[in-house]
Structure 1
């Protein structure tokens, strides 16, 4: 004779919304990444001037020369 299994009754969540619990690192990692990027942006010692001619300009000029246009 098989044994009966006991199941818990499914109760509807209060307020009609789903209750979700996040692990600690699900909040800590985005905060750490945001803080790191913000510090990199705000550090004036790492600021460099952009080159006079961007790399894409050189690339497009080279493609134009190679195609004979």
Structure 2
């Protein structure tokens, strides 16, 4: 005895055909890679006169969260 299906085969097929646009995956990957490069390579930041390492970045984020600019 087969069980009755509550959804039609067309509804299941249309749900399977839904796909994300290319930028929905590319944008987070590109932004993560850019931020990782900024944090992980302080040697390039030294030439620009910016503070090195992760501590200044965390201090800046804490200042922004507290409402100071």
TM-score (norm 1): 0.38
TM-score (norm 2): 0.38
Q: 1 or 2, which has the higher helix percentage?
A: 2
Instruction: Flag the structure with more relative contact order, 1 or 2, with Cα contacts below 8 A and sequence separation at least 6.
Output: 2
